[in-house]
Amino acid sequence: MTLWNSLTSSPVFGVVVTLGVYQLTVLVARRARGRAYANPVLWSCVLLVAMLGLTRTPVEDYARGGDLIAFFLGPATVALALPLHRQLDRVKEAVIPIVAASVFGASAAVLVAGWVTRALGGGNALVASMLPKSATTPVALAVSETIGGIPALTAALVILTGVLGAVAGPGLLRLIRIRSEIAGGLAMGISAHGIGTARALGESQLMGAFSALAMALSAVVTPIVVALLLPVLV
C-alpha cells in the first residue's frame, strides 16, 4: 500500500480520478442515448464513493485534488450567463412571472423540506440542514452553518437533490404535461440548482437559460425565506 499511499497523497490523484470517472460515465450516458438512469453526475458520485471505500482512501487525500476542480465551479457558474444573454429578450417579456415563480418556488422548497423532516421526527439540526437543500452549494452551506445545521449533511443533501432533479425532472415535466420550456427551466433551476441546470441545457438552450436564471434568483431568495420561516420550522 506504500505506492498507493504515495499516489493518493498527491493533489493530482483527486483531479485524475475525478476526470477519469466522469469521462467514463459520460461515455456510458452517450451509449444510453441520454436516458435519465445514466446521468453522469449520479454515477460519478457512486463510483467515486465506492472506490474510496474499497481502497480505504481518506476523503481528505481525495479532496486535495477535488478541491482544485471545485475551484472552477465559480467560473462555470458565471459561464451560464452566456445562454441567458442569448435569451435576454424572452427574459424581459416574462420578468414578473420569473420573479414570482422564483419566490414561490424557493418558499415551497423550504417549507416542504422543513415540514416533512419535522413530521418524520427530525430534530432541529436535521431540519436546519434540510431547509436550504434546493439552493446552490455555497449558499446552502452558508445558510446551514448560520442557522445551526450540519454543513456536511447539507452538502450531501444538495448533491442528492440536484441529481434526483436532473434524473427525474424532465420526465416528470413531460408526465404532468408541462410543455413550456420556460416553465420547465424555471422548475429545474429552482428545485435542482446547478446539476439540474446542466440537464436543462441538455434539453435546450432556452430551457437551460431560464434554469440558470431561476437558480440565481433562488440563491438570493432562499436565505431570506429561511430567515423568515425559521421560527416556524425549527
DSSP 227: H
**Same structural domain, 6 and 100:** no
pLDDT in tens, 144-189: 888 888 888 888 888 888 888 888 888 888 888 888 888 888 888 8
**Same structural domain, 60 and 173:** no
Q: How far apart are CA 191 and CA 135, in angstroms?
A: 8
**Same structural domain, 96 and 140:** yes
Q: Residue 156: phi, psi to the nearest 5?
A: -65, -40
**Model confidence band, residue 2 (pLDDT cutoffs 50, 70, 90):** low
**Same structural domain, 85 and 120:** yes
pLDDT in tens, 52-110: 888 887 777 777 776 677 677 667 667 767 777 777 788 788 788 888 888 898 888 88
Residues above pLDDT 90, as percent of the chain: 0
How many helices and strands in the chain, by DSSP H and E?
13, 0
Q: What's this model's pTM, rounded to 2 decimal places?
A: 0.75
**Same structural domain, 84 and 177:** yes
**Same structural domain, 118 and 194:** yes
Last residue of a domain, one of 71, 99, 115: 71
Q: Residue 137's closest CA among 70, 89, 187?
A: 70
Contact in structure between 138 and 218 (CB atoms under 8 Å):
no
**Same structural domain, 65 and 100:** no
Last residue of a domain, one of 71, 100, 123: 71
- Distances in Å between the alpha carbon of 131 and those of 104, 112, 190, 224? 15, 9, 14, 12
**Same structural domain, 169 and 84:** yes
Q: How far apart are CA 76 and CA 79, in angstroms?
A: 5
Burial 94-122 (b: 16+ CB within 10 A, else e): beeebeebbbebbbebbeebbeebbeeeb
Domain span at 197: 80-233
Contact in structure between 13 and 61 (CB atoms under 8 Å):
yes
Mean of the pLDDT values across residues 202-212? Answer: 84
Number of domains in the chain: 2
Last residue of a domain, one of 28, 53, 71: 71
